[in-house]
Structure 1
Amino acid sequence: MPASRRRRLLSASLLLALATGLIAAHLLHLDDRLGLYWREQRASESERQGGIWLPDYRLVLETELAGLAEDETSGLTWNPLTGTLFTVTGQNPQLVEFTPGGVILRRIRLEGFSDPEAVEALGDGRLAIVDERRRLLAVFHLEPGIEHLDLATLPSYDLGFAAAGNKGFEGLAWNPHTRRLLLAKERDPLGLFSLPFPGEDGAAGILEPVPGAHLLVRDLSSVTIDPRSGHTLLLSDESRLLVELDLEGKPRSFISLFGGLHGLVRGIAQAEGVAMDAAGNIYVVGEPNRFYVFSRRPQQH
């Protein structure tokens, strides 16, 4: 092969590799993350104290939710009225209540649910569950001693996106500051949506896209609201990221969920649910039944 042709082929290969790398970096938001990392390093102390500030978080507990390995946990919420956490399972639909230490307190069968993906404690003691495949939101009071819930008897709200299939709403959060629900659509299209608080009969306002949110992730697995600052915390399974958004929907901080970072040894392979309590502790569940607790440990800057 002539030397000139070899040079042309080498140049073409280098250009193709560069273009592929740039496309991959764009799809993975690597440029955005690098820019956010740079801004994190230059943030003032008031900025660090004014929100969640994820770089200061470290893993303090990793355990299994006993007996749920075959059920596949998905979604998570902190209930301040009971001081406990709730998750839902998709393989065998149920609502599970457990302690911040990962001790299961009770399981409630979810009859009529197809694919529960998110659960949230609302402002007046009610709980809400999103069924991704049925594309609906069910709202209910959970009375003591209940062993099962029947979807047919619960107030529910149609979330639309009939063609979403298994890429519908996976995240749900109650915002006590705006008294609205925040829903996270996994992808196609990826996005955040706002819904006025459902009434006792399940009636709700119009589902509206949240404008201006810059998400930095490839998909959305879960979402929660920091009850102190009102900032939004996003969880992405594919990107293996936790991302903090400020009140304007702009990224404020992030951490990666790979092994070797923030106290994680193995990393979180399939993160499915995130929640926060009023003390700022962050809880994460991952399939099939892993449970993680992160607490803020301020560093010297």
Structure 2
Amino acid sequence: MSIWAARLVRLRWLILLLFLLVVAVLVINYRHWDERFAFWIEEQQVDSAEQQASIWLPGYKAVLQGKPLQGLEDDEVSGLTYNAETNTLFTVTGKHPQLIELTLDGQVMRRIDLNGFANPEGVEMLSDGRLAIIDERKRTLTTFKLGALTRNLEFADYPSFDLGFADAGNKGFEGIAWDSRNERVLLGKERGPLGLFSLPFPGEDGAAGTLQPLSSQGLFLRDISSLTYDARTGHALVLSDESRLLLEVNEQGEPVSFISLSRGMNGLRGGIEQAEGVTMDAAGNIYIVSEPNLFYVLRKESAPSSD
């Protein structure tokens, strides 16, 4: 091989290596792996007192994973909330709009048809026994009270709040959580751009306040698919489907702790794909639903069993 041919081969290898390096940097940046790793380093320095004052996600392990929600295979569950009065969960389905009541171990108790809803993506218990549903396509937040025998709800029969972002399309609001300390709704916009918002939300006869953006610059997430709020700590959990991540944030929207939802992490035998709903119960247990109809429970290792 001539000198020029050898140089050409080396040049081609150099170009290939540079190309692979650029691709790697772009992937790391796109998936926020660099920010995640940097925060993981910070997380290792948190002392026990700070951990006890937070939800502290690294202490959780999966105790029930991938349980199918019977009869919902074709309905695509999304959103999740806990009702302390009944000790049950509620989720919604987007493909065939329904409100579904579940037991804490993932048994379907009741189906409620959501007539006139287009694409329900989030559900949350508010104050005074009210439920709220976010319809991503209609860009609305609708509130109502649910009777023990209710089997269908008409969108036109209940008050709705216009969330704006008319050009959001399928990248609108999906996450919703009730901040009982401050009497406000926390909202998560999926992406394009991703963002956290607060909405003062009074009683049934009052008018909602103005939608206000919260800080979300430090969120190393690709999307937001669900939210829940922990009144004990004042912190919220932010679920990301695309990042396969569950993130704890404080009242300022700053990251506090996180766990990966990938295979092998925190007791997960398989990764949680398409995670679309998260909530916590009174004991601090975490519940997650993923499309199309899978159910998960995470519990702190030191916490007593609620079975």
Same structural fold, with TM-score higher than 0.5 when normalized by the shorter chain: yes
**Which residue pairs with 2:20 in the alignment?**
17
Distance in 2 of aligned mates of 1:180 and 1:42: 32
User: 1:20–1:65: structure 2 CA closer, same or farther, 3 Å change rule?
Assistant: same
**Which residue pairs with 2:199 in the alignment?**
195
Q: Deviations over 1:141-191 (max 9, x none)?
A: 112211110001110011111111111111100011111101111100101
Higher mean Cα deviation, 229-238 or 112-121? 229-238
Distance in 2 of aligned mates of 1:296 and 1:99: 20
Structure 1's unaligned 5+ residue stretches are none
Preserved contact between residue 73 and residue 90 of structure 1 (Cα < 8 Å): yes
AA partner of residue 56 (structure 2)? W
Q: Deviations over 1:199-246 (max 9, x none)?
A: 425731111111255211101110111121011111111111111112
Aligned length: 299
**Which residue pairs with 2:134 in the alignment?**
130
**Which residue pairs with 1:251 in the alignment?**
255
> SS of the counterpart of 1:140?
strand
1:12 shift after superposition = 2.7
Distance in 2 of aligned mates of 1:50 and 1:2: 65
Residue 61 of structure 1: which of 52, 59, 64 is its match?
64
1:4 shift after superposition = 2.8
Distance in 1 of aligned mates of 2:145 and 2:94: 21
**Which residue pairs with 2:122 in the alignment?**
118
> SS of the counterpart of 1:193?
strand
**Which residue pairs with 2:45 in the alignment?**
42
In the superposition, the TM-score normalised over structure 1's length comes to 0.95
In the superposition, the TM-score normalised over structure 2's length comes to 0.93
Matched, 1:73 2:58: no
**Which residue pairs with 1:141 in the alignment?**
145
Distance in 1 of aligned mates of 2:267 and 2:225: 22
1:19 shift after superposition = 2.1
AA partner of residue 255 (structure 2)? P
Distance in 2 of aligned mates of 1:95 and 1:258: 28
Distance in 2 of aligned mates of 1:252 and 1:33: 12
**Which residue pairs with 2:186 in the alignment?**
182
**Which residue pairs with 2:159 in the alignment?**
155
**Which residue pairs with 1:278 in the alignment?**
282
Preserved contact between residue 175 and residue 181 of structure 1 (Cα < 8 Å): yes
Distance in 2 of aligned mates of 1:134 and 1:2: 63
Structure 2's unaligned 5+ residue stretches are none
Moved over 4 A (4+): none
**Which residue pairs with 1:215 in the alignment?**
219
Distance in 1 of aligned mates of 2:251 and 2:133: 25
Distance in 2 of aligned mates of 1:14 and 1:101: 50
Distance in 1 of aligned mates of 2:56 and 2:147: 36
1:264 shift after superposition = 1.4
> SS of the counterpart of 2:297?
strand
Higher mean Cα deviation, 11-20 or 100-109? 11-20
CA RMSD of aligned residues (A): 1.6
1:8 shift after superposition = 3.0
1:114 shift after superposition = 0.4
1:9 shift after superposition = 3.0
> SS of the counterpart of 1:216?
coil
Preserved contact between residue 215 and residue 254 of structure 2 (Cα < 8 Å): no
Preserved contact between residue 195 and residue 216 of structure 2 (Cα < 8 Å): no
> SS of the counterpart of 1:2?
helix
AA partner of residue 249 (structure 2)? L
User: 1:198–1:155: structure 2 CA closer, same or farther, 3 Å change rule?
Assistant: farther
Higher mean Cα deviation, 149-158 or 265-274? 265-274
